[in-house]
Amino acid sequence: VLSGCGVYDGTEIHEASAILVHLSRGGAEVQMYAPDVPQMHVIDHSKGQPAEAESRNVLVESARIARGKIASLAKLTTADHDAVIFPGGFGAAKNLSTFAVDGKDCKVNGEVERVLKDFHKAGKPIGLCCISPVLAAKVLSGAEVTVGHEEEEGGKWPYAGTAGAIKELGGKHCVKEVTISFPVNFPHVDAKNKVVTTPAFMCETELHKIFDGIGAMVKNVLKLTGK
């Protein structure tokens, strides 16, 4: 499920690409979706500032990542799929929810909430990375998720405050690494709720470590499908 195209106002493209690579390697068939709604705003990524005169549609922008093969999130039905995965990027906090503005008092897009609840009710796995675990924390009360560490640690975890917000949303936060460490403790698998999360770009680190961490998330999601 995508949220636009570009880290500051949509889907984090590297995360989406990594997920697709690992799903392909795992032999999964993939269908991409995005809500057919306006973006909260448009960011000029070269400046990191809002482009005041622009407006864009989340589904249309997400189609860039999907190479055109995408459908409205309203068409996503649990019966047709074994699992659902949400990449991160600020779009998850701006377009799939209002977390970027409202924090613990945020609202989740109605279709996103429906999808999360339907997959959870059906006992089908849900994968989320980067900031998108806040969606599960808000919608699935008591879900265990990770966004990495709970302290900034000199800038390595610049969004560490999100862990506290997850607790305020009703979720349980578990400290995890972005990639393999000893003892191995990534990603986080909430076996009861079948929710798998990994920090990804919540951490300032090398791209290959983020790629590997996302791979572990995807592998565990596929494992939970039982296929």
DSSP H helices in the chain = 13-25, 58-65, 91-94, 99-102, 110-121, 133-139, 162-169, 207-225
Structure tokens at 125: 């796995």
Give the residue among 34, 43, 22 at the shortest CA–CA distance from 65: 34
Contact (CB, 8 A) for 53 and 43: no
Structure tokens at 141: 């009360």
Structure tokens at 217: 């998330």
Q: At what angle do helices 13-25 and 207-225 cross, to 10 degrees?
A: 50
Give the residue among 150, 134, 147, 135 at the shortest CA–CA distance from 188: 147
Instruction: Assess whether 130 carries a catalytic annotation.
Output: yes
The span from the CA of 58 to the CA of 93, in Å, is 13
Query: Could you tell me whether strands 188-190 and 195-198 are parallel, antiparallel, or unpaired per DSSP bridges?
Result: antiparallel
Please tell me the total number of residues recorded for the chain in this structure: 227
The span from the CA of 135 to the CA of 93, in Å, is 8
* Annotated catalytic residue, options 5, 106, 129, 130: 130
Q: Which residues pair with 50 in a beta bridge?
A: 43
Active site residues: 130
